[in-house]
Chains A and B, each alone.
Chain A
Amino acid sequence: MPSLYERLGGAPAVDAAVDIFYRKVLQDERISRFFDDVDMERQAAKQKAFLTMVFGGPANYSGLDMRKGHAHLVSRGLDDSHVDAVVELLGQTLQELGVPQADIEEVAKLANSVRDDVLSRGSSAHA
């Protein structure tokens, strides 16, 4: 059976998803403030890395990377509700691209697997 990343369509699927997903993020009033003061192109590259990871593709982030990368947002109030919003927008993006529900759930599971690291909770699962 092909991997999740292969089923979703690999790198071209990430390319197709990244603009749709990033537009949703920028327009979502629950989370847009976390993305206001960043360089859009760098941010888009990071979104791409994030999507590759949650698509089950080759992105080598460690738990420690996730903590470091989001610590400044946690100090600005990033919490579960914002992660929920990101997972929701991710699901909407994949729905628009016609991805089956079972695969969307698998993506959500991968996104949720880094939740504690993103929110700097507990000890890093894999430093």
Chain B
Amino acid sequence: MPEIRYNGRAFGIHAGETVLEALERQGEAVAHSCRAGLCQSCLMRCSTGMPPAEAQKGLKDNQKAQGYFLSCVARPEQDLEIGLPGDALRVEAAIAELARLSETVMRVRLTTAAALPYRAGQYVTFLRPGLSRSYSIASLPEERALEFHVRRIEGGQMSGWLHGQAAVGDTLTIQGPLGDCFYTQRDAAQPLLLAGAGTGLAPLYGIVRDALRQGHTGPILLYHGARNAQGLYLVDELRSLAASHPQVAYHPTLTPLDEAILGGKRDWKPWRGYFCGDPALVNVLKKKLFLAGMPMREIFADAFLPAAAKPAALL
């Protein structure tokens, strides 16, 4: 019978037994509820081996691509190494570049000592002694350095350091990547709505370029919202990106994003949405676009939770 590795321990699986049952029988407590592969309470992630297809039914493409599966219906046919959705790698990183993108936003580029495979749009957590903050990745995996857009927050410890004392060559640890807010191509012609406020642009800056690199042909609407004109950054880069790709429409706006987006009458049923930034805004966009017809499984979001709360957000 196959074996599973979890938390550094090996667990045997009896014939017909699910991963959840095997873990429970051997003394591990795993959150669960329906035991029928529906409610997703028992979501786990496989880092080595292929989870059974049956255990990925009903998950989003992006979750499948990362090895997520439902442990209550997973009857493995091969050895698997598994963990909880929030488990992630840690690597050492060094600051390669610090460049101001606006009065309040710093472009931070990091190089890592070891490879950190990621999808454009995911996020990592920066760790310094006694301090951890999550930032979304704005670069593409094939670029040499990881890129982040860090907004200076009043009294913020990590952002204060990056905007003030930090220098090229300084080191920190990063943990990740996490998040399912990234591009996967099922239909290259599907229209995409990308909307973010403030540094919510960071993951979208990665996602839009990743989609184009993968040959996306459908319309891509990119909305970047801010409270004032200083909050908009990378405007020239995005204008030229839109100019060289006719399928891309770039809308920097000072109007609240839900009004800007839902002002025009549009049938959102065929669309996929990516919403990033402040949680209140992200929740409003998710709800309004869902009610306007966008299917739930086509909605991807990255809500920037305040200080260190982020790793708890599984999806």
Contacts and interface: CB of A to CB of B under 8 A. Distances in A.
Do A and B originate from a single complex? yes
Contacts of A39: 315
Interface string A59-78: 11100010001000000000
A46 interface: yes
A93 interface: no
B15 interface: no
Contacts of A58: 36
Interface in A16-51: 18-19, 22-23, 26-27, 39-42, 44-46, 48-49
B38 A52 contact: yes
Given A26-B287, A48-B58, A42 B296 contact: no
Please classify the interface of chain A as helix (H, G, I), strand (E, B), loop, or mixed, using the class held by over half of its residues: helix
Interface in B240-295: 283, 286-287, 290-291, 295
B34 interface: yes
Contacts of A60: 34-36
Contacts, number: 55
B168 interface: no
A45 B283 contact: no
Interface residues of B, number: 18
A40 B39 contact: no
A49 B286 contact: no
A59 B38 contact: yes
B47 interface: no
A61 B32 CA distance: 11
B70 to A, nearest CB: 10
Contacts of B14: none
A40 B38 contact: no
A73 to B, nearest CB: 15
Contacts of B57: 11
Contacts of B36: 49, 52, 58-60
B39 A46 contact: yes
A65 B35 CA distance: 11
Given A58-B36, A61-B34, A44 B291 contact: no
B291 A27 contact: yes
A15 B38 CA distance: 11
Given A23-B290, A23-B291, A27-B291, A44 B38 contact: no
Contacts of A65: 33-34
Contacts of A44: 296
B287 A49 contact: no
B291 A49 contact: no
Nearest to A57: B36
A26 B291 contact: yes
A40 B290 contact: yes
A44 B57 CA distance: 15
Contact of A42 (B40, B283, B287, B291): B40
Contacts of B33: 49, 61, 65, 69
Nearest to B73: A58
A75 to B, nearest CB: 19
B38 A49 contact: yes
A86 to B, nearest CB: 17
B24 to A, nearest CB: 14
Of the listed residues B35, B39, B295, the one surrounded by the most CB atoms of chain A closer than 10 A to its CB is B39
Interface in B16-51: 33-36, 38-40
A19 B291 contact: no
A66 to B, nearest CB: 11
Given A18-B296, A40-B287, A61-B34, 17 more contacts: A19-B296, A22-B290, A22-B296, A39-B315, A40-B283, A41-B296, A41-B299, A42-B315, A45-B38, A46-B39, A49-B36, A49-B38, A52-B38, A58-B36, A59-B34, A65-B33, A69-B33
11 contacts: A11-B58, A26-B287, A40-B286, A41-B299, A42-B40, A44-B296, A49-B36, A49-B38, A59-B34, A60-B35, A61-B33
Interface of A: 11, 15, 18-19, 22-23, 26-27, 39-42, 44-46, 48-49, 52, 58-61, 65, 69
